[in-house]
Amino acid sequence: MSANLPAKPAPVTLDPWSPLRAGTGARIALGRAGGSLPTHEWLDFKSAHAAARDAVHNVFSADELAGEIAKLGMQTLVVGSAAPDRATFLQRPDLGRRLDPPSQQLLEAFVPPTERPELAIVVSDGLSALAAHTQAAPLLAELLPKLSNDGWRLAPIVVARFGRVALQDQVGSLLGARVSLTLIGERPGLGSPDSLGAYLVYDPKPGNTDAQRNCVSNIRPEGLPIRAAAETIHYLLTEARHRQLSGVQLKDQRVLA
């Protein structure tokens, strides 16, 4: 009879580094049960993996996000990249780096109300629609007043479906902006499906490389908070405008108190 009884689960052996888990969201010191992960840690991993996959495949409502941004007092333009759908976007990154013909025509027809705009802002789903919907509008709510106080001339904010970072080059060039800033959903990590990235480039034009861009990454409540991200982006934009450059030549040289 005893041979038919279910085996007792192996006791969980704690990792010596367990106290360090309080200081990080990283998966360290998970312990073990026999030769495997404890069941609750394995289930947590599977849940985080599912959340990351969902973030990549979630539907992006560009019109809804444009409406939220418009409430901040900004004119918005909704465009699409050359990728016709998400499956193509994921398989063809190059298509996400340029506009589809109707969107290109829309931006070509843009006429600045007075002087040439200094800054073009692009908001896109990228690899996490969740990040764009969750973080972009609050970040702009913090950033836009800082830009207004500094007298930046802004083009209408462009909300782009299926966009990659380099789409900022074509958008900024068509709008005649001196600087282009993209807020885009980053590749989800395990435990960070809502991470937003901010990329800026001085003199946006097709052919720019990533070496000419600056990046502020992991913008989310559990990563870089919105207010701190807005301050960093504002600093980099100010320096880019003043020094007329960006990328590897532009460093964050602030002295932290």
Binding residues: 165, 186, 215
Q: Output the CA torsion 249→139→74→105 (10° steps).
A: 60
Binding residues for adenosylcob(III)alamin: 165, 186, 215
Closest CA to 203 of 183, 171, 180: 180
Rounded-to-integer distance, Cα 127 and Cα 196, Å:
9
Q: What is the 3-state secondary structure (H, E, C) of 126-192?
A: CCCHHHHHHHHHHHHHHHHHHHHHCCCCECCEEEEECCCCCHHHHHHHHHCCCEEEEEEECCCECCE
The answer to whether the CB of 196 falls within 8 A of the CB of 182 is no
The whole-angstrom separation of Cα 210 and Cα 174 is 20
CA atoms of 125 and 112, how far apart (whole Å): 26
The encoded tokens of residue 140 equal 């702009």
Among the listed residues 165, 244, 149, 227, the one whose alpha carbon sits nearest the alpha carbon of residue 200: 165
